[in-house]
Amino acid sequence: MKPSSSTPLLRVRGVAKRYGDQVALHEASFDLWPGEVLAVVGESGSGKTTLLNAIAARTAPDAGSVEFLGRDGLLQDVHTMSQAQQRLLARTDWGFVHQNPADGLRMDVSAGANVGERLMGLGERHYGRLRCTAEEWLQRVEIDPIRIDDAPRTFSGGMRQRLQIARNLVTQPRLIFMDEPTSGLDVSVQARLLDLMRQLTRQMHLAAIIVTHDLAVARLLAHRMMVMQRGRVVEAGLTDQVLDDPQHPYTQLLVSSVLQP
Ligand SMILES: Nc1ncnc2c1ncn2[C@@H]1O[C@H](COP(=O)(O)OP(=O)(O)OP(=O)(O)O)[C@@H](O)[C@H]1O
């Protein structure tokens, strides 16, 4: 398809997934624009992670299409590309921040190597440049560069998450997927991480899809949100509009349960 100013970064149409008899995801469709942050919210088991994994080509959907706007300006279906193309996308234009940092980091190699690895994957071999870029990125995510040779298993939970973000952003991706990036962290650590994520997405004009069960995360980070219940998108819209004036009874319940003391 030819690019135009009305071409989204990501075009998702009718994506569906079942596990055996169980429908985990009914047809989901949406567009995501460059620099836009979309939150996917809903209770446990509502299909958020299934949707995220289907979009990020981590699992194959049973139906539907996911098209991504390449640097050549063309939309390409990520599920019909070769595995080599998918891998290239995953380590260049896309990032994936896991809920558990151990799934996204190499816990026993140095922080510097964790950040430099994606650059090396793109052909950078100059040790001095790799180290310098890793130091810059540690600083950007508020990790003291003095820790560059330490392994993430010696880091706190918040530091590990920030390192995961640095590792993903070093290749200047255009889209980042995040699966419950702040859950399991102390409230003050969460607040700092959210602040950092907001700052980086804005500075880098980075689009993001963030799966969260926490409406406060959506409120703080997302331009738009989608609410899921039992595998269906039941409401979607601008974040403030959805949270301040929820239309669907399930969204109303979610919002009111947060407001209750
Ligand atoms: N690999 C799998 N095999 C079988 N069923 C699965 C698998 N993955 C997910 N499911 C089922 O699909 C449904 C949606 O799960 P999913 O993990 O997408 O929900 P979720 O909203 O991300 O939940 P949570 O917030 O708990 O991670 C659930 O009923 C789940 O049990």
Q: How confident is the model at residue 259 (pLDDT cuts 50, 70, 90)?
A: low
Q: Do 261 and 188 share a structural domain?
A: yes
Determine the distance separating the centroid of ligand 1 and the alpha carbon of 75, expressed in angstroms: 29
pTM score of the predicted model: 0.93
What are the helix (H) ranges across the chain? 48-55, 83-91, 101-104, 111-121, 127-140, 157-169, 187-203, 215-221, 239-244, 249-259
Closest approach atom of ligand 1 to CA 231: 14
Please tell me the distance from the alpha carbon of residue 259 to that of residue 160, in angstroms, as a whole number: 31
Of 164 and 259, which is predicted with more confidence?
164
Determine the distance separating the centroid of ligand 1 and the alpha carbon of 19, expressed in angstroms: 9
Determine the distance separating the centroid of ligand 1 and the alpha carbon of 236, expressed in angstroms: 21
Determine the distance separating the centroid of ligand 1 and the alpha carbon of 59, expressed in angstroms: 12
Residue 171's nearest CA partner among 209, 218, 116 is 116
Q: How confident is the model at residue 123 (pLDDT cuts 50, 70, 90)?
A: confident
Q: How confident is the model at residue 3 (pLDDT cuts 50, 70, 90)?
A: very low
- Which of 41, 43, 46, 62 has most ligand 1 atoms within 8 Å of its beta carbon, as the pocket-test mutant? 46
Q: How confident is the model at residue 125 (pLDDT cuts 50, 70, 90)?
A: confident
**Interface predicted TM-score of the whole assembly (ipTM), two decimals:** 0.95
Determine the distance separating the centroid of ligand 1 and the alpha carbon of 127, expressed in angstroms: 42
Across residues 155-181, what is the average pLDDT?
Answer: 95
Q: Is the pLDDT of residue 4 over 80?
A: no
- Which of 50, 228, 250 has most ligand 1 atoms within 8 Å of its beta carbon, as the pocket-test mutant? 50
Report the CATH number that the domain containing residue 247 is assigned in CATH: 3.40.50.300
In a domain, 53, yes or no: yes
Across residues 84-89, what is the average pLDDT?
Answer: 92
Q: Do 131 and 259 share a structural domain?
A: no
Residue 139: both structure tokens together:
């600083």
In a domain, 188, yes or no: yes
Q: What is the pLDDT of residues 60-81, one digit of tens each?
A: 999 999 999 998 899 999 999 9
- Which of 15, 17, 18, 19 has most ligand 1 atoms within 8 Å of its beta carbon, as the pocket-test mutant? 19
Domain boundary among 148, 172, 196: 172
Sheet holding 63-69, edge to edge: 22-32, 10-19, 63-69, 75-77
Please tell me the distance from the alpha carbon of residue 93 to that of residue 61, in angstroms, as a whole number: 21
Strand-strand pairing, 22-32 and 37-42:
unpaired
Determine the distance separating the centroid of ligand 1 and the alpha carbon of 9, expressed in angstroms: 26
In a domain, 22, yes or no: yes
In a domain, 68, yes or no: no
Q: Do 6 and 88 share a structural domain?
A: yes
Residue 168's nearest CA partner among 103, 75, 109 is 103
In a domain, 216, yes or no: yes
Range of the domain at 139: 106-172
Name the closest-CA residue to atom 18, ligand 1.
47
Please tell me the distance from the alpha carbon of residue 257 to that of residue 261, in angstroms, as a whole number: 8
The DSSP 8-state label assigned to residue 195 in this structure reads H
In the prediction, which pLDDT does 1 show?
43
Residue 208's nearest CA partner among 128, 97, 131, 134 is 97
Domain boundary among 135, 152, 172: 172
The DSSP 8-state label assigned to residue 176 in this structure reads E
The DSSP 8-state label assigned to residue 92 in this structure reads T
Beta strands in 57-204 (DSSP E): 63-69, 75-77, 94-97, 175-179
**How many domains is the chain built from?**
2
Q: Do 56 and 183 share a structural domain?
A: yes
Q: Do 178 and 161 share a structural domain?
A: no
3-class DSSP assignment, residue 229:
strand
Give the binding-site residues of ligand 1, using a 6 Å CB cut-off: 19, 24, 42, 44-50, 213
Please tell me the distance from the alpha carbon of residue 19 to that of residue 209, in angstroms, as a whole number: 23
Domain boundary among 117, 139, 172: 172
Name the closest-CA residue to atom 8, ligand 1.
50
Of 1 and 57, which is predicted with more confidence?
57
Q: Do 89 and 163 share a structural domain?
A: no
Alpha-carbon distances of 237 from 129, 139, 213, rounded to whole Å:
43, 35, 17
Phi-psi region of 94 (alpha: psi -120 to 50; beta: other; left: phi over 0): beta
Mean pLDDT across the chain, nearest whole number?
93
